[in-house]
Structure 1
């Protein structure tokens, strides 16, 4: 790898190789670096013009280096570029004395005989140009190879069309590859290894397919219920589970080869209470030794599941009388509502003859406030009736209660939660 001066150093070294070959064919021939000009043809002096007209990534080595940035954007190492340099070489001189032809033949033969830019040539070129004294190209590990490009008349026509009002001269095209340049940034010192060790784990067969309130279901469960997980390879002793990166207490978890039943309670979650919302579940293969770190254990795919809010209708405060009521209603929530969550109360009148849907706004997350196991909702001029109640917490609805009493006239129908005015 080299610093950015390497591109100029390659041009200088290439020019030096051409000069020695051109002088072997035509004494006192000169070389020039830059785009061809009309004056070169007018002067007819023996000269070889070298012009870098294209730079492209080297496809074979573009991804040789490791990622230079971590997931958080921190630098892991210097940024690198693997490049191919494309040059057009044009020959000028007295055509009656065959000077362009003689120089072309000698240069082609010299580059065919020794198609590499040697470290000596590079060092001499750097020494001859004080602008390049800080170049470290000669220390590069990759050898620079010079390869003649097969160009058609159409290719040369396109190249020379970019040189405005410059007549065509006898030309060749060469590629120099591959050049690697890098930044001079020094990456931070990585964290040292504290506990060296070697752990070997077989390929994991763990897989999680669904998670919900019932086997095979994806309907969100409520806190205090159970999370039913389906998958594969779930019966192994020593299996671990993580939710949002935190390990679960496996004592109450029921296991089989294709299913898990996870109690949604504080005992399973080491005293914590999951919030209403979406969570991430992952299974960990058993440890092969007691000291194997968790982050080296084989893992399943990550599976998302949601927790819905469970509600209890509490005290209703409203003056009696009249066809409408104005007051408040207390709603208890399990789990507690977090300060960042938006809450609405949805009311649906149960009278089919006079249907009505009402939305009561709750606490706005912008208002802040502590976590709350109960919220008070206000209503104004609400028609007196019996209402089915559901809570909407960040888009997740509280479940309804179904009549499961066989023989009941409302068997299988929604019977609650209910608010009566």
Structure 2
């Protein structure tokens, strides 16, 4: 790792390598750092021009340093960048005496023979440039490799198009990788451990797969019924369950290796009532020893399940007579509806010849208001007849009643709840 001066230091060290090779081919040859210019071709002096034209992330080491911060935002380590530097190298001189060709051959051979930028070359480059005296690239662990890139005529024409009105010169393209730079920030020193300890636990097969009204079912249950959970490793003695982070009373829970049956009642939930909506279920294996910290206990995956509202049709208030009715109907809810939950009532005409649905809006949701065990819905000019009643609470529908009596005339059909006008 090194500071941000590493990029400039690489360019200076690369330039130094080129200078020695170019002088071996053409005495008094010079090197230059920067974009090519038209004047270089006009002067025709022996010179090698080096230009850094592209910098890109090093894909192999881009994520070596992650994460740099913990879950609380506290820094764990400095931020780092792994980069590849792309250079274009152009050769100028007297073509009659083959100066560009001679320098090109010598430079290519030198970089092929020794493709690494040595620490001595980097140190000498730093000593030659006072702007780089604070560079620490020499101490970096990563070794810098110079690799020739295979470039087509089309590739070079695209690169050269960025140099406005500069005639093309004999050129090569090289890549230097991988250059790692990092911030100077240092993480705080961790507090020493007062009581070191080592915990070893077997790999758990604990897993939750589905939860609903029946094993392998995802249909939402209602309060007062049972939640059937399918999974693996559920028969462990001392297994605990959490819903929304709160522990359940396991007295009434039935366990097997692949299923759990959880009563949806107040005793199981410590005297509380579970609200209509989506909840989070998680299983926790028992402690290996009494002094085992809770955060080291093996947990299952978190599984979401929904609780639907159960309804009862109460008093209906509507004057008799006429083809239509205007009035109100009381609907009881189990569990109680929270004040900020959106509620509406769905009435489906039971006459198959004229199927239709009427939607009765409920109260306006208000944060912080009282819960409601029942709500009154108003209807206006509703055609008289029989209606199937369902409640929609935040998108969760109350279940319907099916006739499960064998031999019944309505066996397998929906029989309620109904509203009759």
Verify same fold: TM over 0.5.
Answer: yes
Structure 2 residues not aligned, in runs of 5+ = none
Deviation at 1:143, TM superposition (A): 2.2
Partner of 2:380: 380
Residue of structure 1 in register with 2:31 after alignment: 31
Match of 2:224 in 1: 224
The alpha-carbon deviation at position 376 of structure 1 amounts to 1.8
Question: Quick one: distance in 2 between partners of 1:406 and 1:344?
Answer: 34
The offset of 1:179, in angstroms, is: 0.2
Counterpart mapping for 1:13-412 below 5 A: 13-68=13-68, 76-151=76-151, 156=156, 158-184=158-184, 196-320=196-320, 322-350=322-350, 357-365=357-365, 369-404=369-404, 409-412=409-412
What displacement does 1:52 show? 1.4
Write out per-residue CA displacement over residues 109-167 of structure 1, whole angstroms, 9 at most, x where no aligned residue: 54445433334443443454454455433332212222334555665555445444434
- Deviating 4+ runs (over 6 angstroms): 71-74, 188-195
Normalising to structure 1: TM-score of the pair? Answer: 0.85
Q: Which moved more, 1:268-277 or 1:361-370?
A: 361-370
RMSD over aligned Cα, in angstroms?
3.3
> Retained in 1: the 8 A contact 2:311–2:333?
yes
| 1:416 aligns to 2:416 (yes or no) | yes
Instruction: Compute the displacement of 1:311 (Å).
Output: 1.1
> Unpaired runs of 5+ in structure 1?
none
**How many angstroms does 1:89 deviate by?**
1.9
Alignment deviations for residues 26-52 of structure 1 (CA, whole Å, 9 cap, x no partner): 443321111222221221222211111
Q: Distance in 1 between matches of 2:367 and 2:145?
A: 68
Question: 1:257 aligns to what SS in structure 2?
Answer: coil
Larger deviation: 320-329 or 85-94?
320-329
**Aligned equivalents of 1:27 and 1:407: distance in 2?**
110
Going from structure 1 to structure 2, the CA distance change for 1:366 and 1:72 (only over 3 Å counts) comes to farther
Secondary structure, in 3 states, of the residue corresponding to 1:15? helix
Q: Distance in 2 between matches of 1:350 and 1:408?
A: 19
Structure-2-length-normalised TM-score? 0.85
Conservation of the 8 A alpha-carbon contact between 2:145 and 2:178: yes
C-alpha distance in structure 1 between counterparts of 2:192 and 2:324, whole Å: 71
Answer yes or no: is the 8 Å Cα contact 2:316–2:330 preserved in 1.
Answer: yes
Provide the rounded CA distance (Å) in 2 between the counterparts of 1:190 and 1:321. 81
Find the aligned partners of 2:151 and 2:417 in 1 and give their Cα distance.
82
Q: Distance in 2 between matches of 1:194 and 1:335?
A: 48
Q: Hey, what's the Cα distance between the residues in 2 that align with 1:312 and 1:252?
A: 27
The alpha-carbon distance between structure 1 residues 78 and 375, as it changes in their structure 2 partners (threshold 3 A), is farther
Q: Is the 8 A contact 2:284 2:297 kept in 1?
A: yes
Aligned residues: 421
CA distance, structure 1, for counterparts of residue 236 and residue 281 of structure 2: 17
Assess if the C-alpha contact under 8 Å between 2:78 and 2:186 holds in 1.
yes
201-210 vs 246-255, which moves further: 201-210
The alpha-carbon distance between structure 1 residues 377 and 186, as it changes in their structure 2 partners (threshold 3 A), is farther
Paired with 1:121 and 1:70, the residues of 2 have a C-alpha distance of: 39
Task: Give the CA deviation at 1:255.
Answer: 0.7
2:356 and 2:144 map into 1 onto residues whose CA distance is 81
Structure 2: distance between partners of 1:153 and 1:402 = 77
Aligned with 1:100: secondary structure? helix
